């Protein structure tokens, strides 16, 4: 199972990729949505985990960009945010986000969501 982690916080990206790799997932990382889209175009990815707040393009807009590409229209996206808002989660769901996870991250919950999103 291949996962793309997109976050402008390099420490967060490395932590998530390392954690998921230790649990049997192959991870690609990107520092922004532009790099993320480039990775999607050249690698087989089964799930995207993206931060909400990034420079230039937020995670919800990035999700819309992903799903605008016909071959990625059903690609699940998990949104990570430090802003625990039901309104934000609802907006994300309306725009194609599969699930939202709030910071600070509970890594066991992340694993549950990854398993749910990929089955």
The answer to whether residues 56 and 15 touch, using CB atoms and an 8 Å cutoff, is no
pLDDT, one tens digit per residue, over 32-67 is 999 999 999 999 999 999 999 888 899 999 999 999
Domains of the chain: 2-117 (3.40.50.2300)
How many Å apart are CA 108 and CA 55, to the nearest integer? 28
Across the range 74-95, mean pLDDT stands at 82
pLDDT at 9 over 70: yes
pLDDT at 88 over 80: no
Residue 102's pLDDT band, with cuts at 50, 70 and 90, is confident
How many Å apart are CA 11 and CA 22, to the nearest integer? 17
R_g over Cα of the chain? 13
How many Å apart are CA 63 and CA 81, to the nearest integer? 14
Distances (CA, A) of 54 to 17, 20, 33, 109: 18, 21, 8, 23
pLDDT at 16 over 70: yes
Least confident span in 11-15, 41-45, 59-63, 95-99: 95-99
pLDDT given for residue 89 in this prediction: 67
């Amino acid at each position: 199972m291949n996962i793309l982690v997109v976050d402008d916080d390099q420490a967060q990206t490395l932590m998530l990729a390392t954690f998921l790799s230790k649990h049997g997932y192959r991870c690609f990382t990107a520092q922004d949505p532009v790099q993320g889209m480039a990775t999607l175009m050249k690698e087989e990815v089964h799930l995207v985990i993206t931060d909400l707040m990034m420079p230039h393009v937020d995670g919800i807009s990035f999700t819309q960009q992903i799903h605008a590409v016909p071959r990625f229209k059903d690609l699940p996206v998990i949104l990570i945010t430090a802003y625990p808002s039901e309104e934000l989660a609802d907006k994300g769901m309306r725009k194609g986000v599969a699930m939202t996870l709030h910071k600070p991250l509970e890594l066991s919950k992340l694993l549950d969501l990854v398993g749910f999103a990929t089955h």
